Amino acid sequence: MAVHMELSRIFIRELHDYQLIELREVEGDRSFPILIGLAEAQAIDRRLKGVEIKRPQTHELLASVIESLGGELESISINDLAEHTFFATLNVRKNGEIIRIDSRPSDAIALGVATGAPIYVEEHVLEAAQNDAPS
């Protein structure tokens, strides 16, 4: 079963190779962090702050391609966690069908923030993330 989540925090530390975002359950108390790259963190941060840029970044480009091809990003799913790595899909609706496209969670979330698509996390991933979290 998929759980509706939202981006609750973003930590950008420009002197490090990795950044941190935190997802929080919309109708509950669970949350967990995901490590992402600086470019993805900056793209998410810009979008959240409403900062306009002159040329499309990768996530805006992908949103435009999906739309131009007659699709609509319906949701993002974080659907697996293996060896400390999260896996995600872009769920694109086209002609009444859902097309699932493999994605890194950071790219999926950046695209979802750009388009307003909801984020879902599979229950087993939430449980594994809670068990995988440092004490």
pLDDT of the chain, 135 residues: tens digit per residue: 899 999 999 988 877 778 899 999 999 999 999 999 888 888 888 888 888 888 888 888 898 999 999 999 999 999 999 988 999 999 999 999 999 999 999 999 989 888 899 999 999 999 988 876 544
CATH no. for 2-132: 3.10.690.10
pLDDT at 73: 96
Domain limits, the chain: 2-132
Question: Do 24 and 5 form a contact (C-beta atoms < 8 A)?
Answer: yes
Question: Do 91 and 76 form a contact (C-beta atoms < 8 A)?
Answer: yes
pTM of this structure: 0.87
pLDDT per residue over 17-42, tens digit each? 788 999 999 999 999 999 998 888 88
